[in-house]
Each structure stands twice: as structure tokens, then as C-alpha cells.
Structure 1
Amino acid sequence: MIETAGLKFSYSQKKEFELDVPFLNFREGEITSLIGPNGSGKTTLLKIITGIIERFEGTVRIKGKDIRGYGSKDRGRLIAYIPQAGADIFDFSVEEIVSMGRRPYMSFGAGAGKEGIKKINAALESFGLSDKKHRKMSELSGGERKAVYICRAIVQEAEILVMDEATAFLDIHHTADTLKSIKKLAKEGKTVITVSHDINLCSEISDEIVLMKNGKVKRTGKP
């Protein structure tokens, strides 16, 4: 599903940090977890794979096509990205944020439609957020914001799910729900990529673990 080759990226010309990943693939129906210390390049790699970072050396091919060749709507149907909670705090309501997951399927100026609204409400209910759907994101806890982003990804129905610290800030109940959702999506044939500091959690859910350090892949293998 995702093939990368010769990836190189630095945030500055001084190259105090440089991502250097010669080769890394992610397969359909599998969960791949990226682990490693802070600053090892995990989130940077996610941002390249999802197209957030566009200027980099090398290639990222999804279904045989370069990521830079996809338009924003097509990319939205392919990839759902869940950032770290708190990375982006918008003053939108919970319902508005989750509804954004349906944008790749909407015509210009149109709403989510009856079917889309059903999916949105079902996702909110599954994470216990129905009574908070009119609350502003800035009023929520870190765990609640993370759950909102997960709901948005679920209703997006993309083929690839990319999660940065998927269970960070979540309580035990929401963590269990999230892990259950991740496993279910992989069984449905979706490509799932996660970043985590929790090695035990990665070992529990992953088909492949990628260890990163100083911008490089140090080891890959089964848990």
C-alpha cells in the first residue's frame, strides 16, 4: 500500500536534525508501530507519509502513485491523520471537527448528508461524546480531544489510518475502545500506522514494529 524510498528531510539548512530513511514499506491489513525516543523522527516521517510535509528528497508511493500527485480531496479519501492531542486546538465544536472527516465526500458548499450525519453520530456515541458535540474543542480535556480526532478519522473512512500517540491522554475505557477500533480497521484491510512510546501496547497490537533513533530506522521486526 505505502512504499517509501530514499527519504531525506531536514527542518533547516544546518541539518541539526535530518531524517534519513532509505527504504520502508507499510502493508494493507497490518498495524505498523513506530517507536523511539523524542526527536527520533517518528512524527516527521508521519507528516511526510501523509503529505503534510511536501518538500523532501525521495519518494512516497501510495497504491503505486507518488503522494505528491494526489489532490487534497483524493488524499483525504486515502489517508486519515490523527495528530497528538493539543497539537492543534481549534475553536470549533466537537461536531464540527468530526464532520470535517466527511469533507472528501462532500460537494462544494454541501453538508455531510443524511448518511454522513448517521456516521458522525454513531462515532460520537461509540466514544461517549454525544452529549459534548456542541462543546468547543478548547473546553475539552486532552483525552476528550484525542477521542474527537479518532472519531473524525473513523467517519473519514480512509484506506490508511495514521495515528500520532493514539492513546495519549486517554483513560482506560477510551484506550480499550481505541485499540479495539484500530484492530477492527486493520482486519477490514486498512493500513494502520501508529507512533507510541508504549512498547507493551505496540507489542500487543502491532504486526510490525519500527525502531527509530536520530532520524534513522535502526530496526524493524515482528513484536
Structure 2
Amino acid sequence: MTRHGEPTVVTVHRDAGGRDVATDLRPGGFLAPRPLCPSGGGLHLALVGTTAGLLAGDELRIRVTVGPGARLHLMEPAGLVAYDHRGGRSSWRAVVEIAPGGELTWDSKPFVVSTGADVTRDMDVTTAPGARMLWRDTLVLGRSGERGGRIRARTRAVHDGRELLVEDLDLTDPGVRELPGVLGPHRIVGAVTALGADPGGATHPSRTDFAGPGAQVRLLGTEAPSVERELTGVWQSWRASGDG
């Protein structure tokens, strides 16, 4: 069964009193935004899954808008699984726009690509001057005991009108991605990415600085827990640096 549905929409602005408020929270066909208990430092929301996962023909869409000076913290309480598509395809796309002085942190959980899945994932980010985003994501090729399906993950980030990060990660051919110099034996690809500002924090041997304001730490591994632990350390360090 093909499921398109409406996009999940999150729009946040800072009001005259200096509070970060959601002006548009709309559940989509796959995810619903849910407010979390106030904890200071911006608005905290969870993206809660409303379906079991991605199937053939599914098109998951997310649109996030952060207004001038507003701060939004998104978290996903559970990961997403793309199941065997039986010859079909699915897609995941997020469009993020952050106005001057705005800030978004997005702590996503692992995206699991089961054997037989064929997924395209697109992240499009636009940040204005003074805006920044911190994003954590992990791709897992296959569930336990699986080789994993096909995924093409594309990311394009534009800061102040100039391209900051353009990446096309093509992991659609298991025979190619398992070659030495590509992924080899690794089935976990995790990253913490800072866009629009130098994340500061502790140094890391896998850190790559962009030509503009931003950096990324990408890790490969054979087991998710070890990769997630190391990413958590980077995430906490960079987030604490940004809060300062």
C-alpha cells in the first residue's frame, strides 16, 4: 500500500516576550510533533512515529522553520526502519529553514535500512547569517544478521546564500560499498554535523572542517552501540559549546 500523506510541519518563532513558541505543529503521514516538558534554552519537541516504518511507495516529508532568534530542539524517541520493499522504493525528505539568529538542534535516532529496502534520503538546509544547526544522524545497513538494503543519502546545506555542504552518499550497491576504501566491513555510518557556526568543543581525529562556518565528525563501525557512544560524546561537547 502506497502512503504519501501530508508533511510533518514544525514552525517556531520568538514572541515579543522572548519566548520560543510553536506557531504551526502539524502531524504528517509518518511523524507527529509533540511538545516536551519545558527545560529552558528554547522549545523542545519530539518527532513521534505514527507508523511501523517505511514500506514500498512511502514518501516521508518533514518541513521545519525556525524564525529570527528562535531556538528549537528536536529529538526522535525511536529510530526509523525501512523494511523490505519487495522491488519498490521509498523516500525521506526534510526541508529546514533557519532565519537570522535562529538555532536548531536535531538529535535523530538510527535510520535502519533492512535487506530489500531501497530508500532515497534528502536533507535540505538553508541557514541565514547568524543562524546555526546541529544535527546528529546514523545510518544502519541491515538489521541483525542482514547485509542491508539500498540507500542514497543526499545533503545540501546553504549558509548565507552560499553552499556550505553538498554531499551525495551513494550506498545503493552492496558490492561496491563493501570494498576497501569505501565502507569495507562497516555497516554503521554515523555523524554529528554543525552548520552555520564553528562548533568548538573538544577536538576529534575524525573531524572535518568545512570551507565556511561548520564542521562534521563522521564515524564508521560494525556495531551500533560503540558508534552511538562516541557520537554522543561529540554531540554533548558541541552542544555545550554552542550553549555557551
TM-score, length basis structure 1: 0.34
Higher relative contact order (CA 8 A, sep 6+): 1
Structure number with the higher helix fraction is 1
Q: Which has the higher strand share?
A: 2
